[in-house]
Amino acid sequence: MNNDFLWWRDGVIYQIYPRSFADSNGDGIGDLPGITGKLDYLAQLGIDAIWLSPFYPSPQADFGYDVSDYKNVDPLFGTLADFDQLVAEAHRRGIRVVVDLVLNHTSNQHPWFLESRSSRDNPKRDWYLWREKPNNWQSVFGGSGWEWDQTTGAYYFHMFLKEQPDVNWRNPQVRREMLDVFRFWAERGVDGFRLDVFNVYFKHPDFPNNPRKAGLALRAFDRQWHLYDIDQPEMHPLLTEIRALLDQYPQRYAVGETFIATPEKAASYCGPDKLHAAFNFDFLFRKFSAADFAEGILKWEQALGESGWPNYVLSNHDQPRSATRYAKGEDDARVKVALGMLLTLRGTPFLYYGEEIGMRDITLKRHEIQDPPGKYYWPFYKGRDGCRSPMQWDDSPYAGFSNAKPWLPVHPNYTQRNVAVQQNDPHSLFRFVQQLLALRKAYPALQRGTLRFLLPPKPGILAYERTLNEQRMVVLLNFTEQVKTVGVSSPVGSSAGQVLLSTHGVQESALNRPMQVHPYEVRIILA
Ligand code: NOJ
C-alpha cells in the first residue's frame, strides 16, 4: 500500500526539452502534440511527472528562454488547445505536468519591452531596468550586462542575452502580472513550476558595482563577487507570496533553479512558506567516485536539515549529459551505477530526456553551433547544443524524431542506441531504469525512507540503507572496476536478504557475512 504518495516528493520528474523530443508536423523541431504522442512511452517507463522547458511564444534567441507572451504557446510547438490536450492526456495516465516560468527577463520582443523602450515617459518605462550609465555588472552570456538603446538614449540591463532584458520586480504592476502567470497555468491544470534563475529577480536598488574577484576565469562574469545583482533579500517575501498563491490549489509544486548555487543557498530558499525545492546542481560537477558523491549527498542533507526535502539531478539542458561525463565509450555500466544512485537516494530524482537510454552529447563544428554562448566563447566553451540533440527513438532516418532534417544533428550512434533497441534488450539501460522505477513504486522506503550510509565511502563503494517503518532496503553501488568485499549487518538477525535487483544477476545476499560486489554492480536488497 502506498497511500501517502506525494507526487513531487516520492515521484520521479522527467525533463523534456520540447524542441528535441518528438516532431509531429515534420518541421524538424519537436512540439507539444509530439510529446502527447509519447505519453504512453513515458507511462511505460514509469515516471510520475514531466517538466517542459519553455514552449511559449518566443523569437527563440535563447531557444524559448526569451518569452514574448507568458500565456500562450508558440506556433512552433502548437496551440493552447494542444497544451490542454497534453495536460489532459498526461493526467489520464497519472503523469503530472510542470512548466518552466522564465520571469527574470522577457524577450526584447515582448510587448511590455517594446512599450518600455518606446519613450522615457511610457507607463511601462519602469517595468525594466533603465540607467543613464552602466555599472560593472556583466552578462553571463558575454560582455557588459548593459545595452545601449538608441530610441531613448539609455541603457537597459540583461543578465543573459541582450534579447533578454531583465524586468523590474520592484515595480508593483510587474509583480502583479508575473503572479498572474502562475494563476493562469495553475487554472489550466498545471501541477508545478520550475522557476528559471529565480534568485536573480531582484537587483540592488542603487546598482552598486560588484567587487572584483581574483582569478583567471574565462568569463568576466566569473571575475566578480555577485553581491548586488543576485540573491537580494526581497526574494524571500516574494517566495512566501508565491507559495501562498500555489497553496490555494491542491498539491501544486515549485522548484527553483538556483543561480550560482551552493547547497546552503539553495536550502535557504526552501521551506513550508517558500519553495518546495531548489536545485543545487552538485551532482553535475562530481567525478565518478563513491567518496565524491557521498560528500555531495551529506552536504545537501545537512544544508536542508530535518524538514527540507532533497532533489538530485545528473543531467539537464545546460550541461553535458551524465553518460557523456561518466561512461567509457558506448559501455553503460558506469551510467547504471550513476542512475542507480540517482533513483535510490532520499530525494526527488530528475531525469533528463534520453538519459534513460544513455544518450551521449553530440559534437558540432563551429558553423553548426546554435547556442549563443557557444558562439560567443568558442573555442573555449562550445555551448549547450551537445546535450540538446534529438531524442533517439529508433533506427529510422533522423532516429524517428522527425521525418525532416532536425534543428540539431542526431547523434551518429542512434542506429544502435535508441529506445526501440533498448526496449527489446533485457540488459539495456532503459530496462534497468524501468525496473528501478517499478521498484520505487513497490517499495515506499525507496521513495521517502530515511537514508543512512553503511560504510565509509572511501573504498569505492557506496552502501546505504533506506528505511520506512518495517521496510529496510540496502543499496550497494560499486564505482570501481574491481570486485569489492563488503559486510552489511542485518538488524533483525536474519541473514538472508532478498535481492530485488542486481546488474550482475546476483540472486542471494547473505547479510551478516562479507559479500562480494562485482565491478560496477548495482544491487538492491530487501533486508
Ligand atoms: C537558465 C536556463 O536553464 C538556461 O537554459 C537559460 O539560458 C537561462 N536560464 C536564461 O533564461
The CATH number given to whatever domain includes residue 128 is 3.90.400.10
In the reported structure, the alpha carbon of residue 307 is separated from the centroid of ligand 1 by a whole-number distance in angstroms of 29
Do 101 and 119 have their domain in common?
Answer: no
Query: Among candidates 179, 185, 324, 311, which has minimal Cα distance to 258?
Result: 311
Determine the pLDDT at residue 455.
Answer: 80
Look at residue 162 and tell me if it is in a domain: no
160 CB within 6 A, ligand 1: yes
Going by C-beta distance under 8 Å and a sequence separation of 6 or more, which residues neighbour residue 399? 390, 391, 392, 393, 410, 411, 414, 418
User: Measured at the alpha carbon of residue 243, what is the angle toward residues 103 and 2, in degrees to the nearest 5?
Assistant: 115
Q: How many CA atoms lie less than 13 Å away from 412 in the CB half-sphere?
A: 2
Do 91 and 138 have their domain in common?
Answer: no
Provide the grid cell at 335. Answer: 551510467
In the reported structure, the alpha carbon of residue 467 is separated from the centroid of ligand 1 by a whole-number distance in angstroms of 37
Determine the pLDDT at residue 460.
Answer: 95
What is the number of the ligand 1 atom nearest to the C-alpha of 317? 5
* Distance of alpha carbon 490 from alpha carbon 105, whole angstroms: 54
Do 382 and 496 have their domain in common?
Answer: no
* Distance of alpha carbon 375 from alpha carbon 368, whole angstroms: 10
Look at residue 165 and tell me if it is in a domain: no
Do 434 and 460 have their domain in common?
Answer: no
* Distance of alpha carbon 287 from alpha carbon 140, whole angstroms: 25
Determine the pLDDT at residue 26.
Answer: 98
pTM confidence score = 0.98
- Is pLDDT above 60 for 1? no
To test ligand 1's pocket by mutation, which of 55, 58, 62 has the most ligand atoms within 8 angstroms of CB?
Answer: 62
Report pLDDT digits (tens) over 447-486.
999 999 998 776 899 999 999 999 999 999 999 999 999 8
102 CB within 6 A, ligand 1: yes
Do 134 and 210 have their domain in common?
Answer: no
DSSP notation for 215-280 = S--SSGGGGB--SSSS--TTHHHHHHHHHHHHTTSTT-EEEE--TT--HHHHHHTBSTTSBSEE--
* Distance of alpha carbon 152 from alpha carbon 167, whole angstroms: 17
Report pLDDT digits (tens) over 108-161.
999 999 999 999 999 999 999 999 999 999 999 999 999 999 999 999 999 999
Report pLDDT digits (tens) over 394-441.
999 999 999 999 999 999 999 999 999 999 999 999 999 999 999 999
Q: Residue 334: in which H helix or E strand, if any?
A: helix 333-342
Do 61 and 180 have their domain in common?
Answer: yes
195 CB within 6 A, ligand 1: no
Do 31 and 121 have their domain in common?
Answer: no
Do 369 and 515 have their domain in common?
Answer: no
Determine the pLDDT at residue 74.
Answer: 98
In the reported structure, the alpha carbon of residue 478 is separated from the centroid of ligand 1 by a whole-number distance in angstroms of 34
Q: What is the mean pLDDT of residues 248-266?
A: 98
Do 420 and 338 have their domain in common?
Answer: yes
- Separation of CA 449 from chain center: 23
CB 511, CB 526: distance < 8 Å: no
Q: Which of 438, 462, 483 is the last residue of a domain?
A: 438
What is the number of the ligand 1 atom nearest to the C-alpha of 66? 11
Q: What is the mean pLDDT of residues 21-40?
A: 99
Q: Which of 390, 412, 438 is the last residue of a domain?
A: 438
Do 187 and 279 have their domain in common?
Answer: yes
Do 327 and 455 have their domain in common?
Answer: no
Do 220 and 93 have their domain in common?
Answer: yes
Per the structure, how many domains does the chain have? 3
Query: Among candidates 98, 105, 101, 18, which has minimal Cα distance to 66?
Result: 105
Look at residue 466 and tell me if it is in a domain: yes
Task: Output the domain CATH number for residue 90.
Answer: 3.20.20.80
Q: What is the DSSP letter of 53?
A: P
Which residues are the active-site residues?
196, 257
> In 379-474, which residue ranges form alpha helices assigned H by DSSP?
419-423, 429-442, 445-448
Determine the pLDDT at residue 287.
Answer: 97
51 CB within 6 A, ligand 1: no
The residue range of the domain holding 483 is: 450-526
Look at residue 445 and tell me if it is in a domain: no
- Is pLDDT above 80 for 393? yes
Report pLDDT digits (tens) over 330-374.
999 999 999 999 999 999 999 999 999 999 999 999 999 999 999
Q: Which of 125, 157, 189 is the last residue of a domain?
A: 157
Look at residue 164 and tell me if it is in a domain: no
Provide the grid cell at 419. Answer: 529506445
